[in-house]
Amino acid sequence: MSITRRSLLLAGLMAPIARTARAHDRSALLPTEVRVHPGLMPGDIYVIPEDFHLYHIRRPGIAMRYGVGVGRAGLEFKGAAVIQRKAEWPSWRPTDDMIGREPEKYAQYADGVPGGPESPLGARALYLYRNGRDTYYRIHGTTAPETIGSSVSNGCIRLRNEDVIALYDAVEIGTHVTVV
């Protein structure tokens, strides 16, 4: 197996993550500026689901780290994507797969939920696309901040509303996202 520049950079990103993720302390999920490998591209986002953290690279060697909730086993998003749409107080509709898996929970929302404080997507949403196509995965806020630091969603990456607002304001359309 060959070692690529990307794998070395990701290993450099993940080294300090392993230490912070083991601290079963809710404060480890609060936004914090952290040092990362200086070769990571400013503006990019990296998500390490097993450690419940999202890293927004601010400048060489520095990232803002946010605690996240991630998808349950088998439903999680992995790989590369690009943010091609952003929305404030987005409306939400469960996917057909979600309705099929758990109709008792999601069928009642088949016509959608309008944007606002009750929307499951929370205050903001960043829409992930791959090869120009919507993946139906999002980085978004949540009405259930107690789920940050756990694997409970249908695949999306969720942040506390105040954190997704800060991230939303800091990223542009075209931002690269990597979920490892």
Is the pLDDT assigned to residue 120 strictly greater than 80? yes
Query: Any idea which fold 28-179 has?
Result: L,D-transpeptidase catalytic domain-like (2.40.440)
Cα–Cα distance between 115 and 89 in angstroms, integer? 5
Average pLDDT of the chain, as a whole number: 88
Is the pLDDT assigned to residue 171 strictly greater than 60? yes
How would you classify the pairing of strands 62-67 and 70-71? unpaired
pLDDT of residue 3: 44
Which alpha helices (H) appear in 36-115, and where do they start and end? 96-101, 103-106
Percent of the chain with pLDDT over 90: 71
Residue 107 tokens read as: 């069928």
Choose the catalytic residue: 37, 53, 140, 176: 140
Q: Report DSSP letters for 115-141, one per residue.
A: SSTTSTTTTEEEEEEETTEEEEEEEE-
Choose the catalytic residue: 24, 56, 156, 176: 156
Could you confirm whether 56 is annotated as catalytic? no
pTM for this prediction: 0.85
Could you confirm whether 156 is annotated as catalytic? yes
